[in-house]
């Protein structure tokens, strides 16, 4: 197993009676931000619970920070932060005491846990409201407190379930920046389980797509979204002249909006340059088309895609 792999899952299956929740799932997660995607019932929650040691798989091997969740669940949870989708707070308790309680559960001394709670609430953008009862908070404010609880013990891995749920657009962007900050500056591995694909596109390095209990697709976000077989050209000179020349060369090409030329990319870049030279046109830029994550996701969950990494 590679040293920088923080999560390692090999051929893991899990069923509940007749329902097969996970089937032969194999994946690994290293540093950075990983998006865990899939429709409802795809197995995301089951996988998370197995990683945390809250469920045991029927077969296969799982390692989190080199530890086995079957036998070392408590040790794993001291080094993993979890931000659940659903609210989980004690009524009639101030926000700062709720976060402090999280630190105490992880063995921090009383005074240190209070200091740490204030420090983390500052980072999460909870100010004077920290002295209010958490019951009185808006959904967005409760999200911030859940975030603070998840990181108050300085975990090496952070698992977040729908972290931007209930946040307004500005707060959503701030939350995503904080997540990126934890990965880049604090060196944490962050796993985000979410339905909001633009969040994944803006913050994730890696993507895992589950559907019907199977891993359908995995890879870097850049790899998965640069598979479109087209090139877009911008030129200095007559775009129309270049299009005609390329057509004579047998290239599939069309003139898109604003003078952009769209070429079906068959790997023959030399023919494009030759056409430009013949047409007396200078190519200013040549960039591959990008699939949106939404296109990749729909294709993966429709069963047209095969798992790869």
pLDDT confidence of residue 136 = 94
What is the C-alpha separation between 177 and 203, in angstroms, rounded? 8
pLDDT confidence of residue 45 = 94
254 pLDDT higher than 80? yes
Cβ atoms 87, 163 nearer than 8 A: no
Name the band, by pLDDT with cuts 50, 70 and 90, for residue 267: low
Q: Give the H/E segment covering residue 24.
A: strand 19-29
Read off the pLDDT of residues 162-214 as tens digits, 9 standing for 90 and up: 999 888 999 999 999 999 999 999 889 999 999 899 999 999 999 999 999 99
Assessment of whether the complete model's pTM goes beyond 0.85: no
Which residues are bridge partners to 71 per DSSP? none
pLDDT confidence of residue 304 = 46
Which residues are bridge partners to 236 per DSSP? 282
CA dihedral 240, 245, 247, 249 (to 10 degrees): -160
Choice between 228 and 168, residue whose per-residue pLDDT is larger: 168
- In this structure, the chain runs to a length of 309
Read off the pLDDT of residues 119-130 as tens digits, 9 standing for 90 and up: 999 999 999 999
What is the C-alpha separation between 154 and 144, in angstroms, rounded? 16
What is the rounded average pLDDT of the residues 74-96?
92
The two tokens of residue 42 are: 């795809």
Reference 57, options 110, 11, 99, 97; nearest CA is 11
pLDDT confidence of residue 227 = 63
pLDDT confidence of residue 259 = 82
Name the band, by pLDDT with cuts 50, 70 and 90, for residue 299: confident
What is the rounded average pLDDT of the residues 271-299?
88
Cβ atoms 80, 156 nearer than 8 A: yes
For the four alpha carbons of 309, 296, 299 and 265, in that order, the dihedral sign comes to negative
φ, ψ of residue 125 in degrees (nearest 5): 80, 25
What is the rounded average pLDDT of the residues 59-80?
95
What is the rounded average pLDDT of the residues 274-294?
88
Read off the pLDDT of residues 288-297 as tens digits, 9 standing for 90 and up: 777 889 988 9
pLDDT confidence of residue 266 = 63
157 pLDDT higher than 60? yes
Which residues are bridge partners to 209 per DSSP? 37, 217
Which residues make Cβ contacts (< 8 Å) with residue 258, sequence separation at least 6? none
pLDDT confidence of residue 228 = 65
3-state secondary structure of 134: helix
Which residues are bridge partners to 27 per DSSP? 9
Name the band, by pLDDT with cuts 50, 70 and 90, for residue 4: low
């Amino acid at each position: 197993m590679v040293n920088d792999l923080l999560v390692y899952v090999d051929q893991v299956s899990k069923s509940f009676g007749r329902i097969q929740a996970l089937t032969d799932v194999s994946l690994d997660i290293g540093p950075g931000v990983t998006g865990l995607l899939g429709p409802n019932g795809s197995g995301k929650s089951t996988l998370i619970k197995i990683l945390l040691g809250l469920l045991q798989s029927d077969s296969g091997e799982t390692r989190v920070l080199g530890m086995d969740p079957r036998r070392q669940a408590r040790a794993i949870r001291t080094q993993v932060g979890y931000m659940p989708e659903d609210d989980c707070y004690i009524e009639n308790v101030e926000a700062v005491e709720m976060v402090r309680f999280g630190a105490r559960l992880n063995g921090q001394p009383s005074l240190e846990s209070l200091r740490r709670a204030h420090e983390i609430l500052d980072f999460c953008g909870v100010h004077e409201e920290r002295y209010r009862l958490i019951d009185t908070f808006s959904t967005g404010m409760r999200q911030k407190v859940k975030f603070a609880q998840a990181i108050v013990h300085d975990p090496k891995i952070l698992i977040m379930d729908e972290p931007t749920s209930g946040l307004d657009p500005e707060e959503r962007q701030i939350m995503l920046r904080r997540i990126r900050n934890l990965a880049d500056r604090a060196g944490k591995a962050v796993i985000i389980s979410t339905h909001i694909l633009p969040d994944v596109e803006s913050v994730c390095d890696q993507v895992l797509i589950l559907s019907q209990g199977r891993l359908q697709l995995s890879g870097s976000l850049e790899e998965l979204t640069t598979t479109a077989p087209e090139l877009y050209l911008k030129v200095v000179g007559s775009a129309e002249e270049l299009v005609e020349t390329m057509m004579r060369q047998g290239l599939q090409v069309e003139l898109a909006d604003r003078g952009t030329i769209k070429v079906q990319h068959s790997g023959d870049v030399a023919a494009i340059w030759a056409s430009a030279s013949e047409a007396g046109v200078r190519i200013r830029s040549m960039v591959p088309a990008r699939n949106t994550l939404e296109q990749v996701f729909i294709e993966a969950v429709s069963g047209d895609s095969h798992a790869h990494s």
